[in-house]
């Protein structure tokens, strides 16, 4: 029964996302969302949504009345079950990506976690999550906004991934 509910939810997300893309085709919006780069021992947490082809970081929209850091904390908990306080996050900047028919302004936060957090996905919206070395992340098909952030982050030679 639970797997049936998960499949139905994934279908709902996929259909909703397709409808959103159709709307964006006509409206060409600029959307704003938060992204959270969670680091542990030089590995980055990467997720895969059930309704998108590209990999991303935990991310999502800012709800009405919510500040950016609150949205980041909420999304991180909703998507991978990591609980933080907003004061633990470091704001790193806004990065732009062109995705389908929308311009995405990503508001990026980072946290370097000393202890490996237990991650849990719902198998509905998020179907996969792993901490990966940066060189592996660079080889993934990433969302355009995450690619923009990562290129910026890699301009510092200390941050360039080591190839094995």
Mean pLDDT of the chain: 92
Fold observed for domain 2-159: Nucleoside Triphosphate Pyrophosphohydrolase (3.90.79)
Residue 105: Cβ-neighbour burial (10 angstroms; 0-12, 13-18, 19+)? middle
Average pLDDT estimate for 128-144: 96
Distance CA 35, CA 110 (A): 8
Domain residue limits, the chain: 2-159
- How much is the pLDDT for 164? 41
CB 46 within 8 A of CB 56: yes
Query: Is residue 140 over pLDDT 90?
Result: yes
């Amino acid at each position: 029964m639970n797997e049936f509910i998960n499949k139905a939810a994934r279908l709902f997300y996929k259909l909703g996302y397709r409808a959103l893309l159709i709307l964006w085709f006509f409206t060409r919006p600029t959307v704003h969302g938060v992204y959270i780069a969670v680091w542990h021992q030089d590995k980055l947490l990467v997720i895969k949504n059930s309704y998108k082809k590209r990999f991303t970081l935990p991310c999502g929209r800012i709800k009405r009345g919510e500040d950016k850091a609150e949205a980041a904390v909420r999304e991180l908990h909703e998507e991978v079950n990591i609980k933080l306080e907003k004061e633990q996050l470091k704001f790193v900047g806004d990065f732009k990506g062109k995705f389908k028919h929308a311009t995405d302004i990503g508001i990026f936060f980072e946290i370097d976690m000393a202890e490996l957090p237990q991650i849990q996905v719902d198998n509905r919206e998020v179907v996969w999550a792993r901490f990966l070395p940066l060189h592996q992340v660079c080889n993934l098909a990433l969302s355009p906004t995450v690619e923009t952030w990562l290129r910026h982050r890699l301009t510092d030679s200390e941050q360039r991934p080591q190839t094995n």
